[in-house]
Amino acid sequence: MKLVAWFSALVLFASAANAELVESKLTLPGELGSAVLYSDSSKTEAGPAVVVVHEWWGLNDYARGRAQQLAEAGYTAIAVDMYGNGKSTEHPKDAMAFMNAALAEPAKMNARFDAALAILRKQPAVDASKLFAIGYCFGGAVVLNQARRGLDLAGVASFHGSLGTETNAKPDTIKAKVLVATGGADPMVPPAQVGGFVEEMSAAGVDLQLLSFPGVVHSFTNPGSTAIGEKTKMPLAYDANADRVSWEALMAMLAE
Amino acid sequence: MKLVAWFSALVLFASAANAELVESKLTLPGELGSAVLYSDSSKTEAGPAVVVVHEWWGLNDYARGRAQQLAEAGYTAIAVDMYGNGKSTEHPKDAMAFMNAALAEPAKMNARFDAALAILRKQPAVDASKLFAIGYCFGGAVVLNQARRGLDLAGVASFHGSLGTETNAKPDTIKAKVLVATGGADPMVPPAQVGGFVEEMSAAGVDLQLLSFPGVVHSFTNPGSTAIGEKTKMPLAYDANADRVSWEALMAMLAE
């Protein structure tokens, strides 16, 4: 059985510096759904690679754009559809339904994540000792849970993700460095949840960097969130400063 | 009344780039004790300035060295004696007695801190809108409490400082950005204390950056702490990585 079927590969740009960014749409084995890989085909040296997990809206342009942005920064990146159905939405009700369906099958989510990692490990420009994962909102919770599983990840980063867990990480099981960026005024990630998470990570012996931005609400890295927030009356809004500072922290983590 | 009496000023070095680092020993008004100011006399433009508060050992070479290091990095810095008696020690029993005596008089500590800030504000190379404070161990708790007072500080940083408080900061009173670097295996700053602190800061709407270093114990920024830890059987040890990463985070905060 072939691990993945390449059903399209598109050269996004070829720059003067010989960078050639390629977007490849992939299907995951075992009917797990799809993913999109971004890589620089001119890269010859193996470097860090990143799994990107989307917000509760599903694998949309925003999540794909982040993976592409990582590839432009020199990293191989794969945006994986954690819902497995290729769907995305801008309606909170649908998003909630998609998310709850995924959360009801954690083993399937783990399998999707593992499949994405397996694809990264096969890329010529990927150093398998430097695998990272980042996630937004729902995806932030997903990547933290992957770290809690004790996977061999160099680091994970959660942006405005839920930080709670029903089962605290066991001491010394988390191998990944953990970066968390959270909005200080995000009602979905309230102070008690942030404090409880930091206590969990501290007790588990994790290398943790936490950034909390005052007055910032949910989905602050997504420029499209302000309009959706206004339309749906939900506490969603883009924040340029929090976006910039948290992205720079991620860049520093990947470059280390 | 003169605010301060300069009782010595020593040129520490004059470099090829025209930097001229001056160390000035000062007495604080009102019999509050002493402080040491480090500045670059060749600097003409007003920039950030930093109050440095020592560990429970008292104002020793280590704390003075940090202030000097800040001046070498281009910032005016003042190391203030928060015990007010000029004493320092390497014996935990004495340090505990000094610290408890200081903690019993919080108004006096506030007055010493205010006096140090007043000195900084009078320096030609200091921009009064860019006053910072950093502290180590006991000093970390001191600078956090100064932030909790609502002082007009641009930022405070605590290195292996105690994070607990009897009175949580009121929402929106803390003006300073807060940077906390803590050892994940420091028994003096246990996980529940770190979690409680993050909840406090988050609820108070603070711009917070927390760094937690796994396996790292108390006093990790002080190269002399390993020997004292071995001699006294206390959980003190230098950690080069945690020292470097936390210092770089401070440099980034000052440079912003």
Nearest to A194 among B185, B199, B207 (CB): B199
Other C-beta atoms closer than 10 Å to the C-beta of A1 total 4
Task: Name the DSSP letter for residue A166.
Answer: S
| Mean pLDDT taken over chain A | 94
Give the residue-averaged pLDDT of B149-166: 97
Would you say residue A44 lies in a domain? yes
Residues of chain B in Cβ contact (below 8 Å) with chain A: 182, 184-185, 190-192, 194-203, 205-215
Q: Which residue of A has its CA nearest to B208?
A: A212
Q: Which of A63, A64, A65, A9 is nearest to A41 (CA)?
A: A9
Domain range for B45: 10-255
Residue B120 lies in a domain: yes
In a domain, A146, yes or no: yes
* Number of separate domains in chain B: 1
Cα–Cα distances in Å, from A184 out to A235, B167, B172, B195, B207? 12, 20, 11, 15, 8
Domain membership flag for residue A2? no
What confidence tier does B11 reach under pLDDT thresholds 50, 70, 90? confident
CB contact under 8 A, B212 and A203: no
Q: CA B40, CA B52: separation in Å to the nearest integer?
A: 17
User: Of A12-26, A46-60, B191-205, where does mean pLDDT reach its minimum?
Assistant: A12-26
Written as one string, the DSSP assignment of B148-196 is HTT---SEEEEES-----SSPPPTT---SEEEEEEETT-TTS-HHHHHH
Above 90 in pLDDT, residue A231? yes
Q: Which of A202, A208, A209, A210 is the best mutation test for B, with the most CBs of B within 10 A?
A: A202
**Which residue carries 């990143």 as its tokens?**
A50
Of residues A205, A207, A214, nearest to B205 (C-beta): A214
CB-CB: which of A184, A198, A206 is closest to B205? A184
Check B196 against A192: CB less than 8 A apart: no
Average pLDDT rounded to a whole number, residues A192-207: 98
Least confident of A28-42, A47-61, A169-183, B4-18: B4-18
d(CA A225, CA A231): 10
CA-based nearest residue in chain B for residue A216: B205
CB of B194 closer than 8 Å to CB of B212 = yes
State how far the Cα of B110 lies from the Cα of B144, in Å rounded to an integer: 12
Q: Do the Cβ atoms of A15 and A40 come closer than 8 Å?
A: no
Q: pLDDT band at residue A16, thresholds of 50, 70 and 90?
A: very low
Query: Does residue B15 surpass a pLDDT of 80?
Result: no
Residue B135 in this model has a pLDDT that exceeds 50:
yes
Flag if B205 and A191 touch (Cβ within 8 Å): no
Residue A185 gets the label, from left (phi > 0), alpha (psi -120 to 50) or beta, of alpha
pLDDT in tens, A113-165: 999 999 999 999 999 999 999 999 999 999 999 999 999 999 999 999 999 99
Q: Is residue A1 part of a domain?
A: no
Neighbours of A151 (CB within 10 A): 20
pTM for this entry: 0.93
Which of A256, A217, A210 lies closest to A236, judged by CA?
A217
Structural domain includes residue A71: yes
Question: Within a domain: residue A117?
Answer: yes
Nearest residue, CB atoms, B198 vs list A194, A207, A215: A194
Residue A5 lies in a domain: no
Is the ipTM reported for this complex over the cut 0.90? yes
Q: What is the CATH number of the domain that holds A240?
A: 3.40.50.1820
Instruction: Tell me the Ramachandran region of residue B62: left when phi exceeds 0, alpha when psi lies from -120 to 50, beta otherwise.
Output: alpha
